[in-house]
Structure 1
Amino acid sequence: MNPIKSNVLMAALLCSTSLFAQEIEDKKGIVAKNAELVKVQDGFSFTEGPAVNRFGDVYFTDQPNNRIHKWNAISNEVSVWREDAGRSNGMYFKLDGTLVAAADNKNELWAFDTDGNHEVWITAFKGKKLNGPNDLWVRPRGGLYFTDPLYPRPYWERSKESEQDGQNVYYLSDDKTQLFTVAEDLVQPNGIVGTPDSKYLYVSDIGAKKTYKYEIREDGYLINKELFCEMGSDGMTIDDRGNLYLTGDGVTVFDKKGNQIAHIPVPAGWTANVVFAALDRKTLFITASDAVYTLQMKTRGVW
């Protein structure tokens, strides 16, 4: 969910009308010719967690209203898929169709089947409640990573804000028997995504306004941390060229070397997350405050 303070959000909202006049900056031709940002639907409270299934449909959350919505890639229609969704935030599909969600209500990790039934995968770490799982990425080779920043919620019932020693990144093995920390030196980890070959993981430290790149070991541990760019991000995604898409002030795109190559302005106070959608994965689906948007691309997303 939106990590920025209310006064910062207000300032962003006041200037958001100017975003309508801004043009897309695209140095490498990643956006489709003559493409324009299209508002699919508004009227939400705060949209987050877009996850694409194998048909190209996108499931996303309206986190304050505790719902998961589904965008149909063919009809372009949005429907309510699940009420009482554990206040899900970031989400990601496994190859078998399981939708894994960072369920913020009780600081858990949930998994939904195709009918919307859920089971709880994680309730704590070493017997202590997590801060609040925020975003996640499922490794194609098995296992998943998730970030656990601390954004206190008014609906939490706990004796103190945090039971954990820090705001960390975790790895959960594919059989769910192993859960361990893989990054403990970040200020406030948030957005996270890996490469389709499972070799590298990108983690945004939004608290430090930086994004880092790690090498992934076979056992799930991370090594060789390096600074990727001087920008934090809420959610993020990656395309088939290895470009990284960061969010916050619209969508900012960096090539695999960390050079900024594009900026997509979005008429919203905060852009929370982004994913490649539709069957050909050439539709950029953007969750931004009270609305969701699409933009046609030349690049495509990757499984």
Structure 2
Amino acid sequence: MILKPSALLALPAELLVTIFQSCLSFKDGASLAASCKQLNEIWTEHHTPIYNRIALTTTPCYPELRQLLDDMEELPSDAQVLSKKNIARILEISKIGDDLVAEYETMLKEQPYHDPQVSRTLSTTEKLRFVRAQYQLLGLLKLKADGGHIKRIESMDLKTLFLLSDFLCVFSAHTISDPALRQIADADSIAPRILQQELRRQRNHHFRKLYTHGYRPVSVTPFESGGRFAWWCDRQQETFQEMVTGRVYKGEESEPKIREDIWYDSAEEE
């Protein structure tokens, strides 16, 4: 009896790579690779583009995580080939996200004073915003050591400037056990505060340039006494969008042009 070649194995290599990239997890990809010698060869030869694509949907905030490793001079974000050691390091760093969320929620529970505009327990979307911001802030703190962070701050869009300056109000990395990340967090105790001032300065400059208005949220948005504007919280997203796009000034005598193009949806908001 002559067996017909599998229709799957008859496909060109680039389509087989695409099939691997559509796997819902690395375990699924490894299982597919283990099914026959030909697929294992595809998996081995093209593991970097396969890994990068699967990681986008399985590793929270993967692009920001890769940028952090680049800032730490451990792995270029555009590396064409990932070794097993590289992948192990990526997975190792990705585990700190849950630790940082847990530290934040513990910190909020222990505080006698609670800001009414800040979430005490993070939702799924808030966790994604939180983890993404921690990666970005750690990267900026690393670059700050030699002044390289200024160029990145100046290249940031208004929404990112809002979020990062706001997240520095609750930034804490005491639970990070990774030596390289601990060194960043412990290098300068006042660096986060200085970084916040620099982010706010750029945010205010960018805001005024767009809308000819200074950043003054208390006078144009709902505000709870004893609180502050935690734009990253889910409950603030609608108001935050109005602020970023300049819609809060609609109807004023010196009303600027509303810039809907300034707002974009992050992965957790799509």
Q: TM-score range by the shorter chain?
A: under 0.3
More helix by proportion, 1 or 2? 2
More strand by proportion, 1 or 2? 1
CA radius of gyration, larger in: 2
TM-score, normalised relative to structure 1 = 0.24
TM-score, normalised relative to structure 2 = 0.26
